[in-house]
Amino acid sequence: MKTSGNTVLITGGSAGIGLALAGLLSQQNNKVIITGRNPERLAAAAQQIPGITTIVSDVSNGQDVTQLVATLQKDFPELNMVINNAGRAYAYELSATASIADKATDEMVTNYFAVIRLTEQLLPLLQQQPEAAIVNVTSIVAFAPGAHISTYSASKAALRSFTLSLRHAIAPLHVFELMPPLVNTEFSQEIGGSNGIPPQQVAEEFLTALGNNDYEIRVGATEQIYQLTLSSPAAAFAAMNNNGVPA
């Protein structure tokens, strides 16, 4: 997949990994569009990265997605890359009073069902392009769940499964899976994000893999956990939970 000259949509692009991806892709002469729910954060991102386009849109809202797709079809008919980065996560102890079902529903809608909805609606536009790609951002916990983020882990495992099937179903379109470990972002502070890698590292490893058509992008410690799951899933789970999430 080419790394420049693309028109790229990044959901959840106003902060963290999404913002790092937007900045690096913009530097590589790509046209970048970012979405998010917060207009102020989108405006701040536009100040930080001159030339990007911002669209207020909530991927978990079906009407917002339909309007977003209509806008893209009208204003960006050359769109050829979608990075499904928007996410929702809760950290909590499993208990009868943790409102688990509500939290899990929120996570699954944002992290899984929203990706399917947006992908389905954008496929006709992507399939018109000479070369196109979908990038789904999962996580290290798609391989070994974190005990305090159990339902978030389950949502990312579901997205990984869907991504594998999607890659087979829509070839020759490129389907990448970006799998970060713990990353130091505002999003991850509740689960010790200050111990994580910088989002810029995720963006840089993604760009290299994109150019090489490396469809499974296991960033940092994700590769170690992946290899450990092949020999001992129990050891991988212990590594994720006994000593914190690897970075």
In tens digits, the chain (247 residues) has pLDDT values of 999 999 999 999 999 999 999 999 999 999 999 999 999 999 999 999 999 999 999 999 999 999 999 999 999 999 999 999 999 988 888 777 778 899 999 999 999 999 999 999 999 999 999 999 999 999 999 999 998 899 999 999 999 999 999 999 999 999 999 999 988 777 666 666 666 799 999 999 999 999 999 999 999 999 999 999 999 999 999 999 975 444 3
For residue 1, is it within any domain? no
The reported pLDDT for the residue numbered 99 is 85
Number of structural domains in the chain:
1
Tell me which residue range forms the domain holding 184: 7-241
For residue 2, is it within any domain? no
The reported pLDDT for the residue numbered 184 is 79
- Bridge-based pairing of strands 133-137 and 216-218 is unpaired
The reported pLDDT for the residue numbered 189 is 63
Cα(59)–Cα(36) distance, rounded to whole angstroms?
A: 8
For residue 217, is it within any domain? yes
For residue 180, is it within any domain? yes
Cα(106)–Cα(165) distance, rounded to whole angstroms?
A: 23
What CATH number is attached to the domain comprising 122? Answer: 3.40.50.720
End-to-end CA distance of the chain, in Å?
28
For residue 199, is it within any domain? yes
Provide the 8-state DSSP code for 141.
G
Catalytic-role residue among 90, 112, 152, 215: 152
Cα 203 to Cα 81, 172, 182, 200, 220, distances in angstroms: 15, 24, 14, 5, 12
For residue 60, is it within any domain? yes
Cα(172)–Cα(30) distance, rounded to whole angstroms?
A: 21
For residue 246, is it within any domain? no
Longest dimension (CA), the chain: 52
Cα(162)–Cα(226) distance, rounded to whole angstroms?
A: 18
152 in active site = yes
For residue 247, is it within any domain? no
